[in-house]
């Protein structure tokens, strides 16, 4: 095992050493060495000589010369034997190797001559490649017949076994077309292995019927010696951009092969040489020039030249700044350095105008033409390897300054300017000019400008006398600009020159009391009066402002004085006590104030809330009853029960007293220890001083549940919140909390616990105490939604009743202009589907839907996160939609939803169908009724003609009879729709067109006899109300009779034939030519106060008649 490992290591060392020597082959130690081209021999051929002649110094010790061969990458030492011969006889330094008889397995490889010396010296000759030619076998095809489809990728293989070097296979169609370039060759790995050429191509229809053949070519090359033929690259004219890496390649062919390469540069700015075959360099501009590559071999040398063209974009040279006098000619030059030369050079002015010239000339230049002028140049690079021309552009700016006088002056001041402050007037010019403008100043009262060049004019400790016109003039070396002025207005902040007392005392009901203060300032101060930090009540106070006369020539330099008085319009009241403030302000600086405490001497006034006289106490514990009163001077408190003053002798009690000195409010507390049932009841607090007294009755009761709250109010805060407020009731002697109930659409959606927090009282409040409302904010509500609120109070004993529900609606969502509104929306009530466009992102937006409720009230239904449609939307008269953010419910503009035909007219269609059916039934009923009544009329006429007329008499005929007023029918005329009960004849509605022919009339008693009578239509006629029927009839004038007869004839003519429907008022018609008078009596209800007929009008009215006590109805119908 150790010996095998040693052999492996020695072999590896020889391979590495041989490769190193092969790489460094061709050194100067050899006078003659093998050629670089392969040596082609055949098996068994004799006498192949490989030359090796060394320098004479290496021909003897201490150097040794020997041959090595590499066969299948394995090195072997060549020794002189029956196979090889080393020629030492031709010359003293010759070591030529002769192969006696060529053998493929032994000699097909690489041979090289090597020199070894002391200290590891070694040198190797050029490697000689010996190729033992072996003829390959005849190639064969894997397929004799190919059947395929057009466009299909087809593969065909051609194989040939043996052959050295590997055979070259060529592919031909029998029409002469060669397709060898489509083939891929896999050479044989051993002598008995095949070389395979695979042809892959897409079959076309044009190749149908052609034959494809594979030919093997193999030839022996001639050995011709010639000097190197040099080729340089990558191109004889090599264009490259500056800064890039240029790779210059040199190749040469010769026999023997070239052994030395070198480069030299000719022309350009510097000469250089290189000894490498290929060189690389990062090019600069001066690297352009001709580069010559020289190759050498034993038969001579050859050269080739490469022209390196280093190209670059334009480099521009322009002036950084040019100053020109206004009116002169502006000349700008632009020098461009580029390779290739620039194609275009363009000047661009500040206004965007272009001038295609390297030198720009602008005559009579004006100051408006000042600015940055840009020169832009471009060229085109033609670079090796680039498919197209590459453009390069460069630009550079020149700043042009046109010297000219400055423009108009502009003066700025930080306003307002107050007396005593420091002000600075700053001057600038609308056009600063060139050179930059300087400034002169002239103050009020000066004739000439001050000498100097400052742009600011400071004034310290400003006074009113500094007010006036200040002038500024800009100028420079070219000329003066236009001067301008600034009117300086100095403000004197208002200050009080006459102030109020710090404190004053008056008596109640005192008159003609006033407060006076004076102020001074510029402009005229305004004086405002405040009572306890609130503006005074104009109904009780009279404020008079009186400016004082001024003697001032210049108004802006005057200090104005003004006085103001505050006068009581009535006598002093006890609650006029407090702080009074006189404030002067004129818009400059801060307001000036003077404050006074006014005390009013008055009788005591108990300030306890009169609406809360109840005090609760727990039996067996201490009770506290506090009585607060306003009085000056200090009052005396006394407590009474049942008309007797409380004293330590009869009641176990105590009291404490404290004072609010600001407003003379005193508090006295009655302390009852160990309260019993007998201690409950009324306690009277009496307060007295020198000016009078006042009293207050407290009711002490056991602790109980709280009283209900009152005055519940709601105020919208935002579209999602409301502020509730209410007046708390009596707390029952325990701390109370409140519960707020929120309902929507008749169901409770939330119950919230609210603390009993009241806003703090005003710091300077003077007057009778009043209950303060509790405020509570309700959040997380929906926009434009109707809610119902109730409140109840709770303490540890119990809870109060709920307040009455308060209905309130939240405000609508605010509009966010950034949210797009829907383009369209449509609603179909049959499917209850609301469709909208465009679709929404349900993760970000929701669709707010509004429904029109009763009384034109719009209410939000929901905000739905759907993409393009919403289902189960309730039916409404109208709908609106808008897009909203889900988080904040901010929304877009609202649009109306188009309602489908089914929703808009569905009920109308149903109603029209029902009306048509009812009308048809009505027409049939009327025709039948007409025929029936016409038959009955003929029968009655026959009875009348036979002398069976009937008279009705008696003043009590109409007793207990009630006549219904005519009821106007609407829309339809069917009995069912008008509410007539056909079983009883009673009126549910108008009763029009109701047949009464089958009813019997229970007439009134006439002289003790019941009288029944019927008109010609079969209806019951009204009875007479007079004492005698015919006597009243005879008293009618003939003119009235004629009018009645005329109306009757018209009616008869209208109804057709001799059929009559009704007569004139006062007459009942029995037949043709017969009338029955009807007289209005006291008990008869007049249904026509205007004096018309109580019957139905003859002009097409649809009034009914009147009802009877027996629930039967007299019907007078007109058929139109």
Secondary structure, 3-state, 142-192? CCCCCCCCCCCEEEEEEEEECCECCCEEEEEECCCCECHHHEEEECCCCCC
CA distance 499 to 231: 114
DSSP string over 870-896: EESPPP-S-EEEEEEETTT--B---EE
User: Which of the following CATH numbers is that of domain 2-133: 3.40.50.261, 1.10.1740.10, 1.10.3720.10, 2.60.40.10?
Assistant: 2.60.40.10
Q: Is the dihedral of CA 6, 7, 9, 10 positive or negative?
A: positive
CATH for 491-601, among 3.40.640.10, 3.30.365.10, 2.70.150.10, 2.60.40.10? 2.60.40.10
Q: Going by C-beta distance under 8 Å and a sequence separation of 6 or more, which residues neighbour residue 601?
A: 505, 506, 507, 508, 632, 633, 691
Cα separations (Å) of 1111 from 590, 1003, 1104?
Answer: 90, 13, 14
Averaged pLDDT for residues 950-977: 36
| DSSP code, position 924 | H
894 pLDDT exceeds 90?
Answer: yes
Residue 575 is given by DSSP the state G
Give Cα 946 distance to the centre of its chain: 98
What is the C-alpha separation between 330 and 686, in angstroms, rounded?
Answer: 105
* Alpha carbon distance 112, 131 (integer Å): 14
Residue 1089, judged by CB atoms within 10 A of its CB (0-12, 13-18, 19+), counts as: exposed
CATH of domain 824-899: 2.60.40
CA 90 to chain centre: 102
Provide the pLDDT for residue 756: 59
Question: Chain-centre distance of CA 1076, in angstroms?
Answer: 87
Calpha distance 1022→1034 (Å, rounded)? 19
pLDDT of residue 903: 42
* Residue in the structure block whose two tokens are 């029968």: 939
pLDDT at 1071 > cutoff 70: no
Task: Give the range with max mean pLDDT: 23-27, 209-213, 708-712.
Answer: 708-712
According to DSSP, the β-strands at 503-507 and 592-606 are: parallel
Give the model's pLDDT for residue 659: 64
The pair of structure tokens assigned to 1113 is 């109805």
Determine if residue 162 is left, alpha or beta; phi over 0 gives left, psi from -120 to 50 gives alpha, anything else beta.
Answer: left
For residues 792 and 801, the answer to whether their CB atoms sit within 8 Å is: yes
CB atoms within 10 A of CB 279: 17
Task: Fold for 226-310, please state it.
Answer: Immunoglobulin-like (2.60.40)
User: Token match 């220890």: residue?
Assistant: 673
Do the beta carbons of residue 604 and residue 629 sit within 8 Å? yes
**Taking the mean position of all CA atoms in its chain, how far away is CA 34?**
86
More confident residue, 1054 or 769: 769
**Average pLDDT for residues 82-92, to the nearest whole number?**
88
Query: Could you tell me what percent of the chain has a pLDDT over 70?
Result: 76
- For domain 140-217, the CATH class is mainly beta
Sheet holding 845-853, edge to edge: 857-864, 845-853, 879-885, 895-896
Tokens of 908: 């109308």
Higher-confidence position of 329 and 1093 = 329
Task: Assess contact for 900 and 827: CB atoms under 8 A.
Answer: yes
CA–CA distance, 981 with 994 (Å, rounded to integer): 9
Examine the pLDDT at 772 and tell me if it is beyond 90. no
State the distance between the two ends of the chain, measured CA to CA, in whole angstroms: 141
Q: Which architecture does CATH list for 318-403?
A: Sandwich (2.60)
1091 has pLDDT over 70: no
Please state, in angstroms and rounded to a whole number, the distance separating the CA atoms of residues 817 and 598: 56
Cβ atoms of 148 and 156 closer than 8 Å: no
Residue 608 tokens, joined? 């306890």
Cβ–Cβ under 8 Å, residues 99 and 86: no
Q: What is the mean pLDDT of residues 587-609?
A: 93
The topology under which CATH files domain 607-702 is Immunoglobulin-like (2.60.40)
Torsion of CA 142, 147, 148, 154, to 10 degrees: 10
Rounded-to-10 torsion of CA 350, 351, 356, 358: -20
For 1036-1066, b/e burial (b = at least 16 CB within 10 A) is: eeeeeeeebeeebeebbeebeeebbbbbbbb
> Is the pLDDT reported for residue 797 higher than 70?
yes
The tens digit of pLDDT for each residue in 335-380 reads 999 999 999 999 999 999 999 999 999 999 998 899 999 999 999 9
Q: How far apart are alpha carbons 94 and 84 in whole angstroms? A: 15
pTM of the full structure: 0.47
**The two structure tokens encoding residue 1026:** 């007079």
CATH number, domain 710-759+768-809: 2.60.40.10
User: Which residue shows structure tokens 């027409």?
Assistant: 923
- ω into residue 340 within 30 of 0, thus cis? yes
Give the chain's radius of gyration (CA, Å).
Answer: 64
**60 or 1068, which is more confident?**
60
Centroid of chain to Cα 879:
24
Q: What are phi and psi of 8, to 5 degrees?
A: -60, -40
Return the pLDDT at 493.
95
Give every CB contact of residue 931 below 8 A, 6+ residues apart in sequence. Answer: none
Residue 111 tokens read as 């041979």
The residue with greater pLDDT, 215 or 105, is 105
**458: nearest Cα among 473, 437, 443:** 443
Helix (H, G, I), strand (E, B) or coil at 329: coil
Tell me which residue of 105, 201, 189 sits closest to 157, measured CA to CA. Answer: 201
Structure confidence at residue 216 (pLDDT): 52
pLDDT over 60 (residue 423): yes
Q: Evaluate if residue 306 carries a pLDDT over 60.
A: yes
pLDDT at 974 > cutoff 60: no
pLDDT at site 90: 81
Mean pLDDT, the chain, integer = 79
Nearest of 87, 112, 106, 122 to residue 41 by alpha carbon? 106
- The pLDDT, as a whole number, for residue 768 is 87
> Alpha carbon of 1040 to those of 745, 1002, 1023, 1036, 1064: distances in Å?
66, 31, 20, 7, 10
CB crowding 807-839: b at 16 or more within 10 Å, else e: ebbbbbbeeeeeeeebeebbbbbeeeebbbeee
Between CA 957 and CA 1022 the distance in angstroms is: 9
Residue with structure tokens 């109308």?
908
CA dist 637 and 656 (Å) reads 10
Residue in the structure block whose two tokens are 């006085």 = 563
Neighbour-count burial of 194, counting CB atoms closer than 10 A to its CB (0-12 exposed, 13-18 middle, 19+ buried) = buried
Total Cβ atoms within 10 A of residue 422: 11
Task: Give me the mean pLDDT over the 428-432 stretch.
Answer: 92
Q: Which residues contact 300 (CB under 8 A, 6 or more apart)?
A: 227, 228
What's the rounded Cα separation, in Å, for the pair 1011 and 1013? Answer: 7
Instruction: Give the per-residue pLDDT at 315.
Output: 95
Provide the strand spans (E) within 219-272. 226-233, 237-241, 245-255, 260-266
The CA–CA distances, whole Å, from 884 to 847, 858, 1079 equal 6, 17, 76
pLDDT band at 767; cut points 50, 70, 90: confident
CA angle 795, 797, 799 (to 5 degrees): 55
Q: What gap in Å lies between CA 808 and CA 725, rounded to an integer?
A: 13
Residue spans in the chain of domains classed CATH 2.60.40.10: 2-133, 140-217, 226-310, 318-403, 409-488, 491-601, 607-702, 710-759+768-809
Order of all β-strands in the sheet with 409-412: 409-412, 423-429, 456-459
Query: Are the C-beta atoms of 949 and 1069 separated by less than 8 Å?
Result: no
Asked if 359 and 338 count as a contact pair (C-beta separation under 8 A), the reply is no
Q: Is 192 exposed, middle or buried (0-12, 13-18, 19+ CB in 10 A)?
A: exposed
CATH of 409-488, one of 3.30.530.20, 1.10.3720.10, 3.40.50.2300, 2.60.40.10: 2.60.40.10
């Amino acid at each position: 095992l150790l010996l095998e490992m040693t052999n492996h290591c020695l072999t590896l060392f020889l391979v590495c050493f041989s490769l190193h020597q092969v790489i460094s082959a061709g050194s100067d130690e050899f006078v003659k060495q093998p050629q670089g081209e392969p040596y082609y021999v055949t098996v068994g051929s004799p006498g192949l000589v490989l030359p090796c002649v060394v320098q004479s110094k290496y021909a003897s010790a201490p150097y040794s010369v020997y041959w090595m061969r590499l066969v299948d990458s394995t090195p072997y030492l060549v020794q002189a034997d029956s196979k090889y011969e080393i020629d030492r006889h031709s010359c003293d330094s010759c070591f030529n190797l002769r192969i006696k008889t060529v053998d493929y397995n032994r000699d097909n490889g690489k041979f090289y001559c090597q020199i070894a010396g002391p200290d590891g010296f070694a040198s190797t000759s050029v490697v000689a490649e010996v190729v033992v030619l072996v003829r390959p076998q005849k190639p064969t095809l894997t397929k004799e017949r190919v059947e395929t489809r057009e466009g299909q990728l087809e593969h065909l293989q051609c194989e040939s076994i043996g052959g050295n070097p590997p055979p070259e296979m060529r592919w031909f169609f029998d029409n002469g077309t060669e397709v060898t370039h489509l083939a891929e060759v896999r050479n044989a790995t051993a002598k008995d292995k095949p070389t395979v050429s695979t042809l892959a191509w897409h079959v076309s229809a044009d190749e149908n019927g052609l034959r494809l053949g594979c030919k093997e070519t193999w030839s022996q090359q001639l050995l011709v010696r010639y000097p190197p033929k040099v080729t340089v690259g990558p191109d004889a004219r090599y264009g490259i951009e500056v800064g890039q890496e240029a790779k210059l390649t040199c190749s040469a062919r010769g026999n023997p092969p070239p052994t030395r390469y070198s480069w030299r540069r000719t022309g350009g700015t510097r000469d250089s040489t290189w000894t490498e075959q290929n060189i690389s360099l990062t090019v600069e501009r001066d690297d352009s020039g001709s580069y010559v590559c020289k190759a050498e071999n034993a038969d001579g040398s050859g050269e080739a030249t490469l022209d390196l063209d280093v190209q670059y974009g334009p480099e521009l040279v322009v002036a950084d700044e040019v100053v020109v006098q206004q009116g002169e000619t502006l000349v700008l030059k632009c020098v461009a350095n580029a390779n290739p030369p620039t194609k275009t050079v363009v000047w661009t002015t500040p206004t965007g105008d272009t001038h295609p010239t390297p030198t720009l000339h602008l005559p009579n230049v004006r100051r408006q033409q000042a600015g940055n002028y840009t020169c832009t140049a471009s060229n085109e690079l033609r670079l090796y390897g680039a498919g197209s021309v590459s453009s390069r552009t460069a630009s550079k700016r020149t700043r042009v300054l046109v010297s000219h006088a400055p423009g108009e002056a502009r003066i700025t001041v930080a306003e307002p300017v107050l007396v005593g402050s420091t002000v600075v007037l700053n001057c600038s010019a609308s056009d600063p000019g060139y050179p930059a403008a300087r400034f002169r100043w002239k103050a009020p009262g000066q004739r000439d400008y001050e000498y100097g060049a400052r742009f600011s004019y400071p004034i310290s400790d400003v006074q009113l006398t500094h007010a006036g016109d200040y002038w500024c003039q800009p100028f420079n070396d070219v000329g003066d600009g236009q001067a301008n002025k600034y009117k300086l207005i100095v403000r004197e902040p208002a200050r009080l020159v006459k102030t109020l007392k710090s404190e004053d005392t008056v008596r109640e009901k005192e008159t003609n009391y006033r407060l006076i203060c004076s102020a001074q300032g510029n402009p005229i101060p305004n004086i405002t009066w405040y009572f306890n930090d609130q503006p005074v009540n104009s109904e009780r106070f009279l404020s008079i402002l009186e400016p004082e006369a001024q003697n001032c020539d210049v108004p802006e330099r005057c200090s104005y004085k003004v006085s103001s008085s505050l006068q009581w319009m009535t006598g002093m009241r006890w609650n006029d006590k407090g702080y009074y403030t006189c404030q002067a302000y004129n818009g400059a600086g801060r307001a000036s104030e003077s404050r006074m405490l006014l005390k009013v001497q008055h009788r005591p006034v108990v300030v306890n809330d009169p609406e809360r006289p109840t005090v609760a106490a727990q039996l067996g514990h201490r009770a506290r009853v506090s009585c607060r009163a306003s009085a000056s001077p200090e009052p005396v408190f006394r407590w009474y029960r049942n008309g007797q003053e409380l004293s330590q002798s009869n009641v176990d009690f105590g009291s404490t007293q404290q004072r609010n000195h600001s407003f003379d409010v005193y508090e006295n507390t009655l302390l009852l220890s160990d309260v019993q049932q007998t201690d409950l009841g009324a306690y009277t607090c009496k307060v007295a001083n020198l000016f009078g007294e006042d009293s207050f009755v407290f009711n002490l009761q056991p602790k109980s549940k709280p009283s209900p709250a009152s005055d519940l109010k709601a105020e919208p805060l935002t579209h999602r919140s409301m502020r509730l407020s209410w007046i708390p009731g009596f707390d029952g002697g325990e701390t109370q909390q409140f519960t707020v109930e929120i309902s929507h659409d008749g169901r409770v959606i939330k119950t919230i616990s609210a603390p009993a927090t009241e806003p703090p009282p005003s710091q300077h409040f003077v007057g009778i105490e009043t209950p303060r409302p509790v405020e509570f904010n309700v959040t997380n509500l929906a926009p434009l939604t109707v809610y119902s609120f109730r409140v109840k109070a709770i303490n540890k004993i119990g809870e109060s009743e709920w307040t009455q529900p308060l209905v309130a609606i939240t405000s609508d969502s605010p509009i966010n202009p950034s949210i797009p509104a829907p383009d369209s929306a449509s609603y179909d009530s049959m499917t209850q589907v609301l469709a909208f466009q465009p679709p929404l992102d349900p993760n970000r937006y929701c669709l707010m839907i509004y429904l029109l409720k009763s009384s034109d009230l719009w209410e939000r239904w929901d905000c739905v996160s759907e993409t393009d449609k919403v289902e189960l939307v309730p039916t409404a008269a109208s709908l609106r939609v808008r897009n909203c953010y889900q988080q904040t419910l901010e929304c877009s503009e609202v649009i109306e939803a188009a309602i489908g035909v089914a929703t808009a007219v569905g009920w109308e269609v149903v109603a029209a169908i029902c009306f048509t059916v009812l009308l048809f039934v009505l027409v049939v009923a009327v025709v039948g009724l007409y025929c029936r009544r016409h038959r009955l009329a003929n029968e009655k006429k026959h009875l009348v003609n036979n002398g069976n007329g009937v008279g009705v008499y008696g003043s009590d005929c109409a007793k207990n009879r009630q006549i219904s007023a005519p009821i106007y029918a609407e829309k339809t005329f069917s009995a069912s729709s008008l509410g007539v009960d056909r079983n009883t004849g009673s009126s549910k509605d108008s009763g029009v067109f109701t047949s009464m022919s089958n009813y019997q009339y229970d007439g009134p008693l006439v002289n003790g006899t019941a009288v029944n009578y019927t008109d010609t239509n079969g209806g019951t006629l009204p009875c007479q109300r007079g004492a005698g029927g015919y006597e009243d009839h005879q008293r009618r004038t003939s003119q009235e009779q004629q009018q009645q007869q005329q109306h009757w004839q018209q009616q008869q003519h209208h109804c057709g034939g001799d059929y009559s429907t009704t007569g004139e008022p006062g007459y009942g018609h029995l037949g043709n030519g017969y009338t029955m008078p009807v007289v209005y009596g006291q008990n008869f209800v007049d249904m026509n106060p205007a004096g018309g007929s109580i019957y139905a009008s003859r002009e097409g009215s649809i009034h009914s008649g009147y009802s009877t006590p027996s629930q039967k109805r007299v019907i007078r119908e007109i058929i139109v």
